[in-house]
Amino acid sequence: MTQWCEARGLPRRPSINLNQLWYLALTWYENRLTVESRRPAPDEMVEIFARVGLEGPFWDPKADQWHSAT
């Protein structure tokens, strides 16, 4: 991914691997078919992202902006 971005003059953005995506989906949608289903609150999102290993400004739902990780 780094080479692809460099070849096109694009900044490298945060990425997620397949295992992280799988665990994020399992956590995010675990109660989606229940009456209690709701979108996680920002603090809950931060906890979910951290458990999956997604940290940094890009993954902060309370941030007004993010900067690419280098």
One-letter amino acid of 26: L
The CA distance from 28 to 5, in Å, is 29
35-68 pLDDT, tens per residue? 989 889 999 999 999 999 998 888 999 887 655 5
Alpha helices in the chain (DSSP H): 2-8, 18-28, 42-52
User: What does pTM read for this prediction?
Assistant: 0.73
pLDDT of residue 31: 87
Helix axes 42-52, 18-28, angle to 10 degrees: 140
In contact, 56 and 69? CB cutoff 8 Å: yes
Compute, in degrees rounded to 10, the torsion defined by CA atoms 48, 16, 9, 58.
0
